[in-house]
Amino acid sequence: MEALLDRLKTRFGVFDFEQKKTYQSFCSVDKLSLVSLVTYLKATEGFKVLVLISVVDWIEDGKFQITYLLNNPELKTDIGIRTFISRDNEEMESIHDLWEHAPTFQREIREMYGINFPGSPRVDESFLLEGWDDIPPMRREFDTKKYSEDTFFPRPGRKTNDPAEYMKQKLYPDEK
Amino acid sequence: MAEEKENITGMHDDKFLAPENKKRIVIGPEGEEIHVDPLQDYFCTERPQTSEPRNKTVEKFLNWARAESLWVLGFGTGCGSIEIPPLLSPRFDAYRFGVAMRATPRQSSVIIISGYLAVKTLKRAIRSYEQMQNPKFVIALGSCTINGGMYWDSYNTINRLDHYLPVDVYVAGCMPRPEAILSGFNKLKERIRAGRAEGANEYITNLDWYKANQKKIIKDWNMPDYNW
């Protein structure tokens, strides 16, 4: 992995390299060089399998983190490539021409986070949410509890206990 | 009647309809224009009617017969659909209670909502329920159908099933084991024999309330209001 990292550093300016396990490592790259890096990894380094694309919403930093997890079936190693895009301009370059299943991931991300992938096939069709007209539900400013209470019909009489307090009262009623 | 029909079919929003279901003008072989509205022309838009009971003795006999052959629609949602196969396997053997699985809504009299319902699934469940023939019964499994269960604050799963479909028997648990489901079937039989399982008639009596609830959450309503 060390040799691979050196090559990636000089060619694509990869930073924040982390070796989590012997078979799994992560690195970050600039938004603009992501597609060329992924293409290079697929074509030259043998990372032929796109395992998943996932998104994290860092609302405090005003960023979305997109992680592309690639797998090398010969070396049995994974590499995760993180890239950060701004929450104001949520648009990412599509990789639908590299893997056939990438459009499905991108369609789901488009629906759940509202990140656009221009040119990706069927990206604007609804995937899991049919007829959704609110802000995308996996964004952190979306209040799922409030939405549920407004939309569905909560059954009254539901109460919750703090588990630690509850068990303390049950097991040790004399202690304060 | 005409006004009611207007009311009940007037809420369609064309933008969600599939292309083959949209209103259009077709040019005939001799150049004449034919107006096609598939939701009016291809589907029955008649408002459903309640079925009145026959005389007492006959109805008692019919209810006994209905209770002894419950045919269940093979429709699984959520984790409860995993509990159904063991129910039919030799260990629990639901066949001895007259419970059998059927493949299509037209053949079945019971629909089991076996767990949480996403809005997308609810639409399919409503379609299946409405296509079943009277008398029909609904069994709801698990706390998800009662009050939302562990998904009570989710943006995409309903909280109370009885606002969308008329539920006859709830089986509590997360998930209920097959024994509990069998007990639920026995409870349903008792209700049917006593003549209290009138869910299908209630649904039709309160159709406007049910439809308003359903349309509140199913925003891309692209089917007839009642799926005959």
Contact list, B213 vs chain A (CB under 8 Å): 153
Report the DSSP beta bridge partners of residue A116.
Answer: A91
Asked if the structure places residue A176 within a domain, the reply is no
What's chain B's average pLDDT?
87
- Neighbouring C-beta atoms of residue B73, cutoff 10 Å: 23
**In whole angstroms, what is the distance from residue B228 CA to residue B225 CA?**
9
- Neighbouring C-beta atoms of residue A44, cutoff 10 Å: 9
Asked if the structure places residue B210 within a domain, the reply is yes
- Which residues 75-134 in chain A show a CB within 8 A of chain B? 126, 128-133
Query: pLDDT confidence of B51, banded at 50, 70, 90?
Result: confident
Residue owning tokens 């919403």: A57
Asked if the structure places residue B225 within a domain, the reply is no
Q: What is the pLDDT of residues A98-122, one digit of tens each?
A: 999 999 999 999 999 999 999 999 9
Same-domain check for residues B75 and B183: yes
Asked if the structure places residue B222 within a domain, the reply is no
The whole-number pLDDT of residue B14 equals 67
* Percent of chain B residues topping a pLDDT of 90: 50
CA distances from B203 to A136, B7, B63, B95, B167 (A): 34, 17, 19, 29, 10
Report which of B164, B174, B170 is spatially closest to residue B210, judged by C-alpha positions: B164
For range A52-69, the mean pLDDT: 94
Contact list, B219 vs chain A (CB under 8 Å): 130-133
> What CATH number did the domain enclosing A83 receive?
3.30.460.80
The whole-number pLDDT of residue B4 equals 42
For range B49-65, the mean pLDDT: 89
Model pTM score: 0.84
> What CATH number did the domain enclosing B101 receive?
3.40.50.12280
For range B105-110, the mean pLDDT: 93
Domains in chain A: how many in total? 1
Q: Does A158 touch chain B (CB under 8 A)?
A: yes
The whole-number pLDDT of residue B3 equals 43
CB contact under 8 A, A144 and B217: no
Q: Which two tokens stand for residue B72?
A: 């269940």
| CA B49-B113-B183 angle, 5° bins | 100
- Which structural domain, as residue segments, surrounds residue A110? 2-154
For residue A129, give the nearest of B156, B216, B221 by CB distance. B156
Domains in chain B: how many in total? 2
- Neighbouring C-beta atoms of residue A129, cutoff 10 Å: 19
Asked if the structure places residue B223 within a domain, the reply is no
**In whole angstroms, what is the distance from residue A83 CA to residue A27 CA?**
9
Would the pLDDT of A24 be above 80? yes
Would the pLDDT of B149 be above 90? no
Asked whether A50 and A62 are in contact (CB, 8 A), the reply is: no
For range A144-153, the mean pLDDT: 90
Please count the helices (runs of H) and the strands (runs of E) in chain A.
5, 5
Q: Which two tokens stand for residue A58?
A: 């860092």
- Which structural domain, as residue segments, surrounds residue B18? 2-41
Report yes or no for ipTM above 0.90.
no
Compute the count of residue pairs across chains A and B with CB atoms less than 8 Å apart. Answer: 60
